[in-house]
Each structure stands twice: as C-alpha cells, then as structure tokens.
Amino acid sequence: VPNLQGPRYVSPAPHGGFVVSEECGDVKVFTSSRKLLCSLSSKYGHRFGNPAGVCVDVDGSILVADEQRRVVHLFPERGAPICLVSAGLRRPSGVACSSFGHLFVADAGENCVQVFKYRVRPP
C-alpha cells in the first residue's frame, strides 16, 4: 500500500481489510483489495495528536491510542467517536481488545499494560 504518511501500527479489520495509523496524525481504513475506504479524521471530523496503536473489536469498531493526547478513542461504524480512556495514561502506544470486551493498553510511559472493561453487553 503506497502513499502512507509514516505508517506506525496496523490491525486487521472485518471483511479482510485493515487499519493503519500514521505519524502525520491520521488513521486510514483499507478494504481487502487494498483500496482506501476512509480516513477517520475525515469521516468523523476527529483530530488526532499522534495516533499509535489500533485494533478492531468484534462489533467492527476501531480503537485508537493517541500518544500525544494520552487517550483511547472508539470509532463505531455508525455514530460519533467515544473516548474510552481519558485519564491515567502517560504514553499509550499499543491497544488490543478481546471478544469479552476487555481493552488492553500498552503504556510506554508507565512501562505497563493496563486492562479496562469497555463493553457492558455480553458477546
């Protein structure tokens, strides 16, 4: 996939696509045929500081760790972004989520992994 602006982290997405965070401050979503589906900045009108880790949950929502703003946002397929973690992070760099609704955040500033529950309804 050419023409990325400092690709950092990548995650598989539903239907064979993938998500890439870029150093320039955006997150892009691609189809299984490597065509740009959307930019999260454009689609949601969201401004990232320094997006780092990305993952996609079982509902197809995209989760993004923002190192500069020290937050983790969830971008649902429909609706507005939701800030899942807004305090207690020094440098969130990586994220992963489980099918049980747990969010794992690698915090390079604290040298730890923090675990959060973000899904209320069962899978």
**Can you give the residue ranges of every domain in the chain?**
7-117
Residues of the chain with pLDDT under 50: none
CATH of range 7-117; options 2.60.40.10, 3.90.1280.10, 2.120.10.30, 2.40.160.40: 2.120.10.30
- Per-residue pLDDT, 100: 87
- Per-residue pLDDT, 121: 57
Lookup: tokens for 91: 């440098």
CB atoms within 10 A of CB 90: 12
CB atoms within 10 A of CB 34: 11
Please tell me the pTM assigned to this model: 0.93
Non-local CB neighbours of 12 within 8 Å, separated by 6+ positions: 18, 56
- Per-residue pLDDT, 122: 52
- Per-residue pLDDT, 99: 86
Contact 18, 33 (CB under 8 A): no
Dump pLDDT digits (tens) for 56-70: 998 899 999 999 999
Query: CA–CA separation, 30 vs 22, rounded Å?
Result: 13
